[in-house]
């Protein structure tokens, strides 16, 4: 069975990311096991390794090992990110920076939300994940007013619903081709 991770990156008390994560989970193809990874609960400290993850040396701390094992167990990934001041939350960047090899060739879909349909954060996150070797298949940006209320009520356009389903199909297909 394909294992899809969905990273919910906002840790703010008033976040709307839970609404967005339900929208994504509802679109996941049948037969796919979902691991919802809430960075509010993962709570990694600021990176505390003595070597760069890119060096490929063994992880030194229990939290780094557990985080690496959780991501390494995934066949595909969706990253949900709000756009905060034109970028992604610091805890997401920190969580990404804890690892290196685990992101390599991982079929990844980016979902951003915020004012302006997250048009600033999605290219920045795509550049980061591509630099780490992830197989970024695309992105979908949801905007306040046109796709959702600031309270999180979703009324996503048909075009973006279709894009979500197509991208989820692509990452699950790529995940299956890697395993097979």
| Ramachandran region, residue 26 (left: φ > 0; alpha: ψ -120 to 50; beta: rest) | alpha
- Residue ranges per domain, the chain? 2-179
pLDDT bracket for residue 179 (50, 70, 90): low
Q: Burial, 177: exposed, middle or buried (Cβ in 10 Å; 0-12, 13-18, 19+)?
A: exposed
Q: Burial, 57: exposed, middle or buried (Cβ in 10 Å; 0-12, 13-18, 19+)?
A: exposed
Q: Which of 114, 168, 116 is nearest to 139 (CA)?
A: 168
For tokens 């703010």, the residue is 12
Task: Supply the CATH classification number for the domain 2-179.
Answer: 3.40.50.360
Do the beta carbons of residue 37 and residue 67 sit within 8 Å?
A: no
**pLDDT one-digit tens code per residue, 131-177:** 999 999 999 999 999 999 999 999 999 999 999 999 999 999 999 88
Q: Could you tell me whether strands 135-143 and 76-82 are parallel, antiparallel, or unpaired per DSSP bridges? A: unpaired
**pLDDT one-digit tens code per residue, 84-122:** 999 999 999 999 999 999 999 999 999 999 999 999 999
Please provide the DSSP assignment of 28-62 as one string: SPTTEEEEEEEHHHH-PPSP--SS-GGG-PPP-SH
Tokens for 25, please give them.
């989970």
pLDDT of res. 1: 86
Tokens for 48, please give them.
């505390």
**Residue 102 CA, distance from chain mean position:** 13
């Amino acid at each position: 069975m394909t294992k899809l991770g969905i990273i919910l990156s906002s840790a703010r008390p008033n976040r709307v990311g839970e609404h967005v994560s339900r929208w994504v989970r509802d679109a996941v193809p049948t037969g796919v096991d979902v691991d919802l990874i809430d960075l509010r609960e993962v709570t990694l400290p600021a990176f505390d390794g003595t070597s760069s993850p890119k060096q490929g040396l063994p992880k030194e701390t229990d939290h780094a090992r557990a985080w690496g094992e959780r991501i390494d167990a995934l066949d595909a990934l969706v990253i949900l990110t709000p756009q905060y001041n034109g970028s992604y939350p610091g805890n997401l960047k920190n969580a990404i920076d804890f690892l290196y090899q685990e992101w390599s060739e991982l079929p990844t879909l980016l979902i951003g939300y915020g004012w302006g349909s997250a048009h600033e954060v999605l290219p920045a996150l795509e550049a980061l994940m591509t630099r780490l070797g992830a197989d970024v298949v695309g992105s979908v940006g949801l905007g306040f007013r046109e796709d959702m209320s600031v309270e999180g009520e979703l009324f996503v356009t048909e075009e973006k619903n279709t894009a979500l389903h197509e991208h989820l199909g692509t990452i699950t297909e790529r995940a299956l081709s890697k395993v097979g």
